[in-house]
């Protein structure tokens, strides 16, 4: 079904996650893996490249490939660097209450991000989102209705992303995110039950379809104590010389 390197990637990842391959351990060399999986070296490298980008393994030039230890965290919900959907894909029990649902003229900032003109209409959705029954995110969403038509109140109450992919058959491919800390405002106090000394973790996002069209601009204000953003950065080889 999937490609060969994807199968190998999944296999190795699961071996790491289940502890068959232990942190610090050296895994087989690329040539040995070729034999084991009966494929060419490039296929193995494709798989190892993904594992390395995701922080599962670490490659030491001229020495070998090693399992990296995964330190994981606290009581917060983890928003991964690779997560594209607002929420519904990562967390389990997500429900939403729609606070506002209206069509406006697009403002300048949103128009810029969504590549729209000043006089274009935009769908604005303001939702309170619950995880396991607890109100934890206040989310402002701006959708381009020419790209994503037919979003109803019912869709907004559930998952817009699922509607886009499953009903419209479009593919969400990438997202740009900017994360900041913000003092809480009146709505945060009211809906997220925050004190005025307690902040939100704000994630501003522009999401793109698989043809490069930006379709959504959103501001998601997360309860500071319930979310964290994790990422793994890998420096490229020659980058330091520049």
Stretch that binds a copy of itself, among 31-39, 50-58, 119-127, 155-163 (CB under 8 A): 50-58
Select from 46, 88, 179, 182 the one that contacts DNA (CB under 7 A). Answer: 46
In DSSP notation, 29-40 reads PHHHHHHHHTS-
Select from 151, 175, 192, 220 the one that contacts a copy of itself (CB under 8 A). Answer: 175
CA neighbor of 55 nearest in space, from 70, 33, 43: 70
CA neighbor of 126 nearest in space, from 149, 148, 146, 98: 98
Stretch that binds DNA, among 34-42, 130-138, 144-152, 213-221 (CB under 7 A): 34-42
Which two structure tokens, joined as six digits, stand for 6? 């994807």
Q: Which residues make beta-bridge pairs with 70?
A: none
Could you tell me the smallest distance in angstroms from the CB atom of residue 24 to DNA?
Answer: 14
Stretch that binds a copy of itself, among 123-131, 132-140, 143-151, 232-240 (CB under 8 A): 232-240
Given DNA, a copy of itself, none, residue 95, with its beta carbon under 5 to 8 Å by kind, binds none
Q: From CA 148, how far away is CA 163, in angstroms rounded?
A: 9
Select from 43, 144, 184, 218 the one that contacts DNA (CB under 7 A). Answer: 43
Q: Which letter, b or e, does each residue of 181-217 get, where b requires 16 or more Cβ atoms within 10 Å of its Cβ?
A: eeebeebbeebbebeeeebbbbbebbbbbeeebbbbb
CA neighbor of 65 nearest in space, from 41, 53, 48: 48
Number of residues located near a copy of itself, criterion CB under 8 A: 68
> DSSP secondary-structure letter at 205?
E
Stretch that binds a copy of itself, among 30-38, 143-151, 153-161, 207-215 (CB under 8 A): 207-215
Over the Cα atoms of the chain, what is R_g?
21
Q: Is the dihedral of CA 129, 159, 228, 172 positive or negative?
A: negative
Measured at the alpha carbon of residue 167, what is the angle toward residues 162 and 169, in degrees to the nearest 5?
Answer: 95
Given DNA, a copy of itself, none, residue 43, with its beta carbon under 5 to 8 Å by kind, binds DNA
- Contact between 5 and DNA by CB under 7 A: the answer reads yes
Q: Which is nearer to DNA, 5 or 227 (CB)?
A: 5
Residues forming the site for a copy of itself (CB under 8 A): 1-3, 6, 24, 42, 50, 53, 55, 58, 60, 63, 66, 68-69, 71, 73, 76, 81-84, 112-113, 115, 165, 171-184, 196-202, 206, 208, 210-212, 222, 224, 227-238, 240-241
Residues forming the site for DNA (CB under 7 A): 3-6, 27, 29-32, 38-43, 45-46, 59-65, 211, 237-238
């Amino acid at each position: 079904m999937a490609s060969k390197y994807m199968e190998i990637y999944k296999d190795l990842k699961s071996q790491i996650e289940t502890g068959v391959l232990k942190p610090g351990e050296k895994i087989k060399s690329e040539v040995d893996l070729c034999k084991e999986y009966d494929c060419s070296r490039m296929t193995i490298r494709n798989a190892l490249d993904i594992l390395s980008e995701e922080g599962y393994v670490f490659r030491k030039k001229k020495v070998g490939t090693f399992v990296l230890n995964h330190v994981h965290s606290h009581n917060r919900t983890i928003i991964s660097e690779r997560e594209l959907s607002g929420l519904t894909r990562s967390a389990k029990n997500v429900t939403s209450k729609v606070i506002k649902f209206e069509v406006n003229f697009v403002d300048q900032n949103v128009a810029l991000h969504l590549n729209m003109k000043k006089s274009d209409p935009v769908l604005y959705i303001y939702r309170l989102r619950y995880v396991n029954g607890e109100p934890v995110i206040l989310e402002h969403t701006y959708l381009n209705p020419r790209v994503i038509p037919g979003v109803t109140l019912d869709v907004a109450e559930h998952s817009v992303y699922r509607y886009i992919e499953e009903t419209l058959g479009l593919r969400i491919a990438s997202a740009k995110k900017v994360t900041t800390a913000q003092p809480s405002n009146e709505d945060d106090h009211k809906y997220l039950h925050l004190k005025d000394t307690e902040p939100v973790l704000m994630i501003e996002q522009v999401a793109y379809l698989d043809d490069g069209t930006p379709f959504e601009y959103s501001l998601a204000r997360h309860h500071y104590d319930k979310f964290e953003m994790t990422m793994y950065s890998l420096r490229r080889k020659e980058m330091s010389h520049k």
